[in-house]
Amino acid sequence: MRIAFYAPLKSPDHPVPSGDRRVGRLLMQALEHAGHEVALASSLRTYEPDGNPARQRELRDAGHAEAQALIAGWRKRSAPPDLWFTYHVYYKAPDWIGPEVSRALGIPYVIAEGSFAPKRAGGAWAIGHEAAGAAIRAAALVLCPTREDMECVRPLAAPAAKVEWLPPFLDPLPYQSAARDRAAHRQNLSVRHGLDSSVPWIVVVAMMRPGDKVASFRMLAATLGRMTDIPWQVVIAGDGSARNEVESSFAAALPGRACFLGEQSSAELAEVYAACDVCLWPAVNEAYGMAMLEAQAAGVPVVSRLVRGVPDVVCDGVTGLLAAAGDDDDFVRVARELLVHADKRVTFGQAAAQFVGVERSLSSAASRLRTALDELKRGDRQVVAGRA
């Protein structure tokens, strides 16, 4: 099928590094692996972070104008898309384009990672909230990365529509390759940054921006501050506007224990993961956490918490350990358990690499997408946007 792809939050063609953009590009790759022809339909960003109704109306109008231009262009050509595929729809970044184009062209409308928060009704983002709900109701298929999202989406979906689980995934090959040269990567990192290769290394990969990311870094620093009686060093990759704040919090609480690498390329990150022993991340209000999936792909076990979509990324007791939500003592306990017991790190790390390589790979996602979209193509559950 010819698929028109769109990401209203962050377009995948933008050069600035972002987890959302990375997932968008992975979805496009998976669709291509599934045998489809994929083209980015629009780069219009509808993100409105401040709850400004006037700005939301402006974005709505821009979306309608973009939709009409696309419709007119495709009607002049002989090969319009067979399906519209939108990634990441929520109240701050609704899809004003896809449902309108799909209705006009009579093609199925599909959403990957659509979320709906009833508490936003009537609030500052009421316009975006209503649009996100309308988009979900218009979809023939909604693909959810977490089981939590599925529970919120199901009540909104059209009766003939389908809500399916498409768990987070990645291409494991770069991480598997890096893991095979773990000793060399560990030696290089040790020499470049003065790290003690005889102690466990904790890897953290995250953007350093205000809000939930800074809150996670603060919780991480507090957790590590309660484990200074055992040997470890923390290797942190990432950058952002809050970097000074993050570095200061670690310098004050954990002098000499933290190494900041700054922004790293994808290839460099694979080597960093492979060189380390444990991935430790509190995941404050995190949807699911791609960095934790990357760590596991490189054979590194994860310590996190039972919050939101984290259990869809980390298999508790198999590929890592998840602390109870809201229990700081339990988080310290499970982190200490893996830092102290090297044999558990090895066992969990091997299981993590196997888990990602088989169940969370690009090829596994392509297979799921192929099955779901083939069903739409056959018309078994086809719901053309706006017509249940």
Q: How far apart are CA 248 and CA 290, in angstroms?
A: 25
The answer on pLDDT for 382 being more than 70 is no
Range of the domain at 153: 2-169+362-378
Would you list the DSSP string of 134-183?
HHHHH-SEEEESSHHHHHHHTTTS-TT-EEEE----B--HHHHHHHHTHH
Contact (CB, 8 A) for 12 and 28: yes
Portion of the chain with pLDDT greater than 90, in percent: 86
Domain check: are 87 and 198 in the same one?
Answer: no
Same domain for 142 and 236, yes or no, is no
Same domain flag for 238 and 226: yes
Residues 114-143 have pLDDT tens digits of 988 888 888 999 999 999 999 999 999 999
114-146 in b/e form (b: 16+ CB < 10 A) is bbbeeebeeeebebbbbbbbbbbbbbbbbbbbb
pLDDT at residue 383 in the model = 45
The answer to the question of residue 384 being in a domain is: no
Domain identity same for 258 and 307? yes
274 against 385, higher pLDDT: 274
Structure confidence by residue, pLDDT tens digits, 323-346 = 999 999 999 999 999 999 999 999
Give yes or no: residues 159 and 219 share one domain: no
Are residues 307 and 246 located together in one domain of the fold?
A: yes
Lowest-confidence region among 97-101, 147-151, 310-314 = 147-151
In a domain, 60, yes or no: yes
Are 59 and 156 found together in one domain? yes
User: Does residue 301 sit within a domain?
Assistant: yes
Whether residue 150 is contained in a domain is answered as yes
Buried b (16+ CB within 10 A) or exposed e, 15-43: eeeebbbbbbebbbbbbebbebebeebbe
Taking all residues of the chain, what is their mean pLDDT, rounded to a whole number?
94
Q: Are residues 151 and 290 in the same domain?
A: no
Cβ within 8 Å of residue 187, ≥6 positions away: 197
385 assigned to some structural domain: no
Residues 230 and 345 in one domain: yes
Q: Are residue 65 and residue 148 in the same domain, yes or no?
A: yes
Q: Domain holding 370: CATH number? A: 3.40.50.2000
Domain assignment present for residue 383? The answer is no
**Are 212 and 352 part of one and the same domain?**
yes
Those residues whose C-beta lies under 8 Å from the C-beta of residue 56, and which sit 6 or more positions away, are: 48, 125, 127, 128
385 has a pLDDT exceeding 80: no
**pTM for the whole thing?**
0.90
164-208 confidence digits (pLDDT tens): 999 999 999 999 999 999 999 999 999 999 999 999 999 999 999
Domain count, the chain: 2
